[in-house]
Amino acid sequence: MIQTDIPLHSESLVQLNRQMIVILDFGSQYSELIARRIRETQVYSEVLSYRTTAEQLQQLNPKGIILSGGPSSVYDNGAPVCDPQIWHLGIPILGVCYGMQLMVKQLGGEVVKAERAEYGKASLLIDDPTDLFTNVEDRTTMWMSHGDSCNVLPEGFEVLAHTENTSCAAIAHHENKLYGVQFHPEVVHSIGGLALIRNFVYHICDCEPTWTTAAFVEEAIREIRARVGNKRVLLALSGGVDSSTLAFLLHKAIGDQLTCVFIDQGFMRKLEPERLVKLFQEQFHIPVEYVQARDRFLALLAGVTDPEEKRRRIGHEFISVFEEASKSLGPFDYLAQGTLYPDVIESADTNVDPKTGERVAVKIKSHHNVGGLPKDLRFKLVEPLRKLFKDEVRKVGRSIGLPEEIVQRQPFPGPGLAIRILGEVTADRLNILRDADLIVRQEINRQGMYHELWQAFAVLLPIRSVGVMGDQRTYAYPIVLRLVKSEDGMTADWARVPYDLLETISNRIVNEVQGVNRVVYDITSKPPGTIEWE
């Protein structure tokens, strides 16, 4: 994933975070993970395009720069390169894999195709246990992924560590504070990786832990009030952790100037819509406008079996219903969106009004895969969470009083159960899946495993098979159980749960859910599969 130009952060963020590490992205699948690891040290980090100039970096005044890995070879035609002036900024730089090779090549060294490519775990032999490798154990495991190697180092560089296959696994120019590693310290497979990152952040870049939840909440509230003034803000509430945290934060900042709209499209889990509205209005005292639109959405999906067409129709109808609600409840000057930092990095779902310079909404981000607002429905955007990763949103939600049942809520797709029913979505199939899904959640909770799993849910297949119940032949639907573990949803593995738990879930579903006579367990990891079935 090569990043296109990404907006630099706001001036207020610079003031809040005088300590910052910039990651220049060269297309690595781990660039976001590097940023997250740095933030785990309580230092702010930001991912920018490798095209970011030395002048722009100088304006940001980061305490350090990390060059990410990437799929290219430094000698490929059109291989991405950074502004060579960054080496002369006097800012500490850490090159990771491709970033290290680029550093070597641009500073006069030599990179060649390795005699043996190195992928996976490798034992790191540390030659210099200071600086970058302070408190990192010799022969610790690091994760390798490279086909090129540094053959000749630039002047002033020395080797810090090696492996059996790579003579230059880590290098440094101590005087200029330029460092390179031929492995990925950010991945969980690198045992000493986080210690190495902390050494770069604290010992080499001399950062302090200023990126805290309390500091973020204080600054976010101040920014919201300054931006919104006495104007009204509209928020599409989904009940997920992002939109719920956003609702709490906005209500804390501007109170009754916030209007939350919950559109019940009929694809949520059993009793969730009623629970959500009651929770916000009675317990949190945040008013929610409830829009019941189940029949409209279900009618639109009649006869539709293609998953992308389902998403498209749900998205367009959501926009229509939302537009009607905004007009009847409005006028509103601002639209609040639960945009998170990975969304900012991966896709720019906004336009800029050429007259005012304001960002104008073209998508409802709080509903995953929902689609864009019409261009004539123009709001100014309020996106207080756009600096945060998912785990940081959970910390913010918890710090401002969001209950654990929402903070720890497992991810749930915007189209809801409509994409957990393969084939046509009908009222009968929705009722079957809701009942089965409730049993899955009840038993997972009863076992105390809810927070151990990234997601646990049921899928209804549009086929029938023969069964025997009470000496009678049945011909009914199968339910697929999907229980996975994951750190961030990018990859996932099927959960090795106890057999007696699977047995209990299966027995309850076939006995309590009419129309089901078979339960199967999905043991596919991601990749090659996906977590959701559609």
The catalytic residue positions are 97, 184, 186
120 forms beta bridges with 144
Task: Give the tokens for residue 404.
Answer: 């654990």
Under the phi-then-psi rule, with left for phi > 0, alpha for psi from -120 to 50, and beta for the rest, what region is 428?
Answer: alpha
- Whether residue 462 has a cis bond before it, omega within 30° of 0: no
365 forms beta bridges with none
CA 376, distance to chain mean position in Å, is 30
* Cα–Cα distance, 260 to 234 (Å, whole number): 6
Tell the residue number behind the tokens 């509209």, with chain if given: 234
Task: Give the tokens for residue 466.
Answer: 């023969």
Under the phi-then-psi rule, with left for phi > 0, alpha for psi from -120 to 50, and beta for the rest, what region is 264?
Answer: beta
Strands (E), 38-139: 44-49, 64-67, 93-96, 110-126
- Whether residue 71 has a cis bond before it, omega within 30° of 0: no
Cβ-contact 402, 238 below 8 angstroms: no
The candidate with the shortest Cα–Cα distance to 3, out of 85, 68, 57, is 68
State the Rg of the chain over Cα. 26
Cβ-contact 370, 414 below 8 angstroms: yes
Q: What are phi and psi of 497, to 5 degrees?
A: -85, 160
Question: Which residue blocks in 41-120 are alpha helix, DSSP H?
Answer: 54-60, 98-106
Find the distance separating the first CA and the last CA of the chain, reported in whole Å.
Answer: 23
The length of the chain in residues reads 534
* Cα–Cα distance, 319 to 330 (Å, whole number): 16
**b/e per residue 473-509 (b: at least 16 CB within 10 A):** ebebbbbbbbbbbbeeeeebebbebeeebeebbbebb
Element (H, E) at 441: helix 427-446
